[in-house]
Amino acid sequence: MPLSLDNVSQEAKKDIIELQNKISDFKSGNIIEDKFKHYRLTRGVYGQRQLGVHMFRIKIPFGKLTAEQLIRIADIAEKFTNGNLHLTTRQNIQMHHIKLDDTPEIWKMLEEKDITAREACGNTVRNLTASANAGIDPDEPFDVSPYVYEAFKYFLRNPICQDMGRKIKPAFSSSEKDSAFTYFHDFGFIPRIKEENGETIRGFKVVIGGGLGAQSIVAPTAYEFLHEDQIIPFMEAAIRVFDRYGERAKRFKARMKFLVQKIGFEAFMELVEEERLAIKNKSYKIDRNAVAIPAPAPEKTPPTTQADDPAKFEQWVRTNVYEQKQKGFYAVQLRVKLGDIQAEEARQLAALIKEWAADDLRITVNQGILLKFVRKEALAHLHNELVKLGVGEPGFDTLVDVTACPGTDTCNLAVTNSTGLADQLEEMIKEEYPAMVEEKGIKIKISGCMNSCGQHMAANIGFHGSSIRVKPLIVPAMQIVMGGGVDPTGKGFVAEKVIKVPTKRVPDVIRMSLADYKANGNEGELFNDYFQRQGKRYFYDLLKPLANTKNLTEADFQDWGQDSQYKQAIGVGECAGVSYDVVASIIKDAEEKVALGAEAYQAEAYADSIYHSYSALVIGAKALLLSKDVKCNTQKGIIKDFDTHYVETGEFSYEPSFNDFVLRINKSEPTEAFAKQYHNDAAAFMEQVHIARRKQLIAEGGDKEVIDNYYKA
């Protein structure tokens, strides 16, 4: 039965119908698997470790949900999945074990509540994260929520970020304390105010080109103060530079941080300035009311003002509750174990929110949930109910609140089990170090591989999945890193690798590290300061006995949560999307861009039309270059190589060059006249591409397949 799409937006309706059609084409063999993979990723549909099912990721800007939205997600999880909602470190929700055929209906049900999955995965502008306490943070100069939301809207479905070589991750902090970890993002924004001509002006400190993963980089500062109306124009110009100059073929060198590193920060910023003439908006005024401050919880008498467990309640208040900048109201932070909450629990939580908090919950970057505008007299009753739901434990964002990605539970890339280890560490700390449940100066984060989805490189003590070969077997292991995170001044640090140990010995890593810190740390000395004072070598020597493989036991050959011998099984990651295709298919992609350019022109979206036409020129040129086995790893390289292999040979004629012909895009205002001319030129170029390709096929005697590691360019 066809889906009823009456209650979704026109943009979403188009997306859902297109997804249905693409699934049908894929199942009938009209789209090859790897090309379909590239498509579905940008629609939130991600392959998982188990065959025949997928992970579905929802895009939730700055983690903001209403109670009704949470209920709808819970309903979807119960109907289509194993009933689990997994909260991520990027303030999203993931659902696992989804059947591909169910994804259009899931998307439809989400869109009915104004939730999207568009660009939740893939090589796009990913979810825009922010400090969960934005709007209530006592230290904030102003609420960044409207700025995040406006940027989210601006780049959603924006043609400049639909076919990039890799993903872009932005983050907004609520204050200089950088609780959003802007320092390891592609774009980071920290709010600031200053006086200009007697007027208080809003702006942002801007950092760019940071990142975690195998090569972690702290983002350099682009601006100490950028006016609020310039943040979106700057992002647009920088993304255009990344799209044109960024690596496409080598997945692990395709992030913005590597482009900035390769060409130099100053050269990157110069290219950004060159793009400003062509961008859609030279100034973009933010609607400061785009995200309203929610109404406080209703004023009423709770059923009880007594805590069922007074001692636990008092500790919970100390670690999980704080007074907002709106005096008399309190923020309540929920520890969600492993970021997992079942559908029925989520619905019950939504009911509590409606009754005792503002209708504006936020998913936090450490896989928890923040509730706003709770009245003091309701705290004891609320805590009693949260305990019943399993989310009332004290120790939010402390040593006991371990962050972990799903690891080998579902992820293709994971080497070891993150969740089993996290579970073990939380129980150990709770039992052996009860006083440290309130320790906020040490954070533990775990990733199943080096890609840092668990943000281990931003941890005081972090772990990422690895292995140790002890012939003829393999021991599951964890690489230990230390010294990451944000200090009290807001300065960000990436952790340093220390040593690798069998994963079953990780609890002893924590025991030995805490014992040493307690014995030798100075009064009031933070763990990271202690680590820096002692040095990496000191901790290497301290933990080296745990790395000894001469005394392995049978248990060391089993991963956490497993009762059989460890077998390393790593799949192929999908975030970068490597494809196998034919030249004809790439030409078809270029034709689709020409059509999108015409559609945007008719809608008077002239800047969008121009970018679609630009994409058609680059993709069309790429197709012909691949037909000659010329590798394409950047858009700028494609343009240059097309001059070499087609213009200089006389097969195409452009004066003075194809480079100048294409790059009129950043030397012209996005006017109606230029959009029309540029689109006509792109359409004419594609006609020439078809003619050239037909000549090649006649000469070759048939279609030529290409191994398209370079498809993204």
- The CATH number for 510's domain is 3.30.413.10
Question: How many angstroms from the chain centroid is the CA of residue 189?
Answer: 16
Residue 213: pLDDT band with limits 50, 70, 90: confident
Residue 576: pLDDT band with limits 50, 70, 90: very low
- Average pLDDT, stretch 209-217? 91
Under a CB-based contact definition with an 8 Å cutoff, are residues 581 and 32 in contact? yes
Shared domain for 553 and 411, answered yes or no, is: yes
pLDDT of residue 614: 97
Shared domain for 466 and 527, answered yes or no, is: yes
Residue 127 is assigned to a structural domain of this protein = no
In the predicted model, is pLDDT for residue 110 greater than 60? yes
Could you tell me the residue range of the domain that residue 661 belongs to? 581-706
Angle at 215 between CA 493 and CA 526, to 5 degrees: 20
- Average pLDDT, stretch 50-66? 94
pLDDT of residue 705: 47
Shared domain for 422 and 518, answered yes or no, is: yes
Helix (H, G, I), strand (E, B) or coil at 651: coil
Could you count the other beta carbons within 10 Å of the beta carbon of residue 195? Answer: 8
Residue 328 is assigned to a structural domain of this protein = yes
Shared domain for 370 and 412, answered yes or no, is: no
Helix (H, G, I), strand (E, B) or coil at 116: strand
Angle at 69 between CA 13 and CA 290, to 5 degrees: 80
Residue 159 is assigned to a structural domain of this protein = yes
Bigger pLDDT: 633 or 497?
497
User: Could you read off the pLDDT of 259-300 as tens digits, one per residue?
Assistant: 999 999 999 999 999 999 999 999 999 999 999 999 998 899
Of 311-315, 409-413, 456-460, 474-478, where does mean pLDDT reach its minimum? 409-413
Domain boundary at 275, 300, 330, which? Answer: 275
Residue 410 is assigned to a structural domain of this protein = yes
In the predicted model, is pLDDT for residue 308 greater than 50? yes
Mean pLDDT of the chain: 93
pLDDT of residue 710: 37
In the predicted model, is pLDDT for residue 19 greater than 70? yes
Q: Is 112 buried (19+), middle (13-18) or exposed (0-12) by CB count in 10 A?
A: middle
Structural domain count, the chain: 5
In the predicted model, is pLDDT for residue 407 greater than 90? no
Residue 698: pLDDT band with limits 50, 70, 90: confident
Query: How many angstroms separate the CA atoms of 305 and 328, rounded?
Result: 17
C-alpha dihedral over 29, 31, 34, 39, to 10 degrees? -140
Residue 456 is assigned to a structural domain of this protein = yes
In the predicted model, is pLDDT for residue 186 greater than 60? yes
pLDDT of residue 702: 52
Shared domain for 30 and 161, answered yes or no, is: no
Under a CB-based contact definition with an 8 Å cutoff, are residues 46 and 121 in contact? yes
Domain boundary at 522, 557, 592, which? Answer: 557
Count Cα atoms within 13 angstroms, Cβ side, for 33. Answer: 4
Question: Cα–Cα distances in Å, from 21 out to 26, 30, 81, 89?
Answer: 9, 11, 23, 32
Residue 572 is assigned to a structural domain of this protein = no
Shared domain for 241 and 188, answered yes or no, is: yes
Shared domain for 407 and 543, answered yes or no, is: yes
Shared domain for 618 and 505, answered yes or no, is: no
Of 45-49, 116-120, 223-227, 374-378, where does mean pLDDT reach its minimum? 45-49
- Average pLDDT, stretch 458-471? 94
Bigger pLDDT: 554 or 229?
229
- The CATH number for 367's domain is 3.30.70.3340
User: Could you read off the pLDDT of 516-575 as tens digits, one per residue?
Assistant: 999 999 999 999 999 999 999 999 999 999 999 999 999 999 999 887 787 766 544 554
Domain boundary at 389, 419, 446, which? Answer: 389
Shared domain for 552 and 407, answered yes or no, is: yes
pLDDT of residue 70: 98
In the predicted model, is pLDDT for residue 712 greater than 90? no
In the predicted model, is pLDDT for residue 171 greater than 70? yes
- Average pLDDT, stretch 583-589? 88
Q: Cis check for the bond before 472: say yes or no (omega within 30 of 0).
A: yes
pLDDT of residue 387: 98
Task: Supply φ then ψ for residue 581, to 5 degrees.
Answer: -150, 180
Instruction: Work out the percent of the chain whose per-residue pLDDT is above 90.
Output: 83
Residue 16 is assigned to a structural domain of this protein = yes
Residue 305 is assigned to a structural domain of this protein = no
Provide the residue type at 141 as one letter: P
Shared domain for 660 and 549, answered yes or no, is: no
In the predicted model, is pLDDT for residue 230 greater than 70? yes
Shared domain for 429 and 522, answered yes or no, is: yes
- HEC string of 62-106 equals HHEECHHHHHHHHHHHHHHCCCEEEECCCCCEEEEEECHHHHHHH
Shared domain for 343 and 486, answered yes or no, is: no
